[in-house]
Homo-oligomer: A and B are copies of this chain.
Amino acid sequence: MEDLKDRKWKVLESIYLFRKPWCTVRSECVELPNGNWIPEYFVYEYPNWVNTIAITKDKKFVFVRQYRHGLGMTSFELCAGVCEKEDASPLVSAQRELLEETGFGGGRWSEYMVISVNPSTHTNLTYCYLATDVEPVTSQHLEETEDLTVHLLSSEEVVELLKTDQIKQALHAAALWKYVAENRLI
């Protein structure tokens, strides 16, 4: 199952269409190993992202609920965020985001999953952490543009959300279904 055959594309030309904090897009002219060209392939540059399955001592899952403008709906999500330049590691980013968005901290943390929102177009990875025995340690410290509520859900409620596709964000659904599989929650 190793990478038997690397089919890397050759980049013949690369220009930035946009270089903004949340919209950095390259347009590239590429040549495939079969000799064909794609004259305009779009690559979206992002910093790495993080999210956390955070579970309290009494086995409640810490979720946030917020409006998501792409789909135009309000839904349950894991606490998630972006790796800022000043964060020493993705773990630090995840711990910072959990504290800021929910006020929960402490506990035992481990890296749970490293996947991509879209390997074909996005340059970044998403680090998912599992944090157990977290506890409320401070109040929320939201940014002005954050508008979210915190919810402590039972494992049964999490499974119900998953089974009814109410966890819409694929990165979160992947990590949570892995947790359900490993812990035989269904």
Interface residues of A (CB under 8 A from B): 1, 3, 5-9, 17-18, 20, 22-23, 25, 27-28, 30, 32-34, 36, 38, 40-44, 66-76, 113-123, 125-126, 144-145, 147, 149, 157, 160-162, 165-171, 173-174, 177-178, 180-182, 184-186
Contact = CB atoms under 8 A, between A and B. Distances in A.
Contact of A38 (B18, B28, B145, B167): B145
Most chain B CB neighbours (cut-off 10 Å) among A76, A161, A168: A168
B68 A120 contact: yes
Contacts of A69: 9, 28, 30, 41, 43, 120-121
A5 B118 CA distance: 30
